[in-house]
């Protein structure tokens, strides 16, 4: 059983998938930092000096200045600012993956068109095999290709 597991784990596609997951997690952290540290502060400033991570609704009825203060007090909160950051993270990652897949598909070699196996009869315009010397439809003699 251990030998079978080793063969499974060492297959090329499993190793490739593991590398992809590791790179995806690292890429996700970069995008999270991009959204939280670079994009959201200017957007919050444009909207009115709002820190999106501190946009929340306290369900306890008390008012808290920051999300950290509400959590320290043990208050239940709806953190819609954190949710907005997460949605923006997802949109950026999805767009980046779209661009990556589009570029990879452009770089893939397009398969060469298949060589024709038929020709057209000049008399009845029917498709006949390339090696045919007579048309099967109108029985006309065909010149060699």
Domains along the sequence of the chain with CATH = 2-110 (1.10.1200.120), 116-145 (no CATH)
31-48 pLDDT, tens digit each: 878 877 887 778 777 877
Give per-residue pLDDT as tens, 81-139: 889 888 887 888 788 778 877 887 888 777 778 888 889 998 898 999 988 888 988 88
The rounded Cα 31 to chain-centroid distance in angstroms is 14
Q: Tokens at residue 144, please?
A: 């060699």
pLDDT at position 145: 55
Contacting residues for 33 by C-beta, under 8 A, at least 6 apart: none
Distance of alpha carbon 90 from alpha carbon 15, whole angstroms: 25
The residues pairing with 128 across neighbouring beta strands, listed in sequence order, are 119
Q: Is 129 left (phi over 0), alpha (psi -120 to 50) or beta?
A: beta
């Amino acid at each position: 059983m251990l030998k079978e597991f080793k063969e499974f784990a060492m297959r090329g596609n499993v190793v490739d998938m593991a590398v992809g997951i590791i790179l995806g997690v690292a890429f996700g952290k970069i995008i999270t930092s991009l959204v939280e540290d670079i994009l959201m502060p200017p957007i919050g400033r444009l909207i009115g000096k709002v820190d999106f991570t501190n946009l929340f609704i306290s369900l306890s009825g008390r008012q808290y200045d920051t999300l950290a203060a509400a959590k320290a007090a043990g208050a239940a909160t709806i953190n819609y600012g954190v949710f907005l950051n997460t949605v923006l993270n997802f949109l950026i990652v999805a767009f980046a993956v779209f661009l990556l897949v589009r570029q990879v598909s452009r770089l893939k070699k397009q398969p060469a068109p298949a060589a024709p196996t038929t020709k057209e009869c000049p008399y009845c315009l029917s498709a006949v095999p390339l090696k045919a010397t007579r048309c099967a439809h109108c029985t006309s003699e065909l010149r060699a290709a």
